[in-house]
Amino acid sequence: MALVADALAEIFRADEIPDLGDTHAGLRHAVDMTIDNYANEEMAASLPALAAGVLPHPELMARFREDFLHRKRENIAAALHCGIRRGDLPDDLDTPTSSRTYGPAPSSVDDS
């Protein structure tokens, strides 16, 4: 089952969001990556079975969260912070460093 959690984290794209000089374009890139994750025919066919294998195992879900979801959130937070520094976004923006979506925020996100 650990192999399943690792496979899910590897298959799903959570690449760093490139600084395209425009926050809208960077966030659009992140959305496109997410869409690509679910539009992949092999993933669409296998995801229900893979998820069913991981869901009943809290330690595997934690591993998947760490390997994929936290990494994705870190990348989105970095893009938002870049947009704040660039002046594209308000400096009081509520960024995804809160725990409301995926559990505790990773400590590696730079909030400066």
Per-residue pLDDT of 10-51, as tens digits, reads 777 778 899 999 999 999 998 998 888 778 777 777 778 777
pLDDT at site 28: 94
Say if CB 95 and CB 77 are below 8 A apart. yes
Size (the chain), residues:
112
Spatial distance between the Cα atoms of 15 and 13, rounded to a whole number of angstroms: 6
φ, ψ of residue 12 in degrees (nearest 5): -70, 130
Q: Is the pTM of this model over 0.85?
A: no
Average pLDDT of the chain, as a whole number: 77
Mean pLDDT throughout 94-106? 51
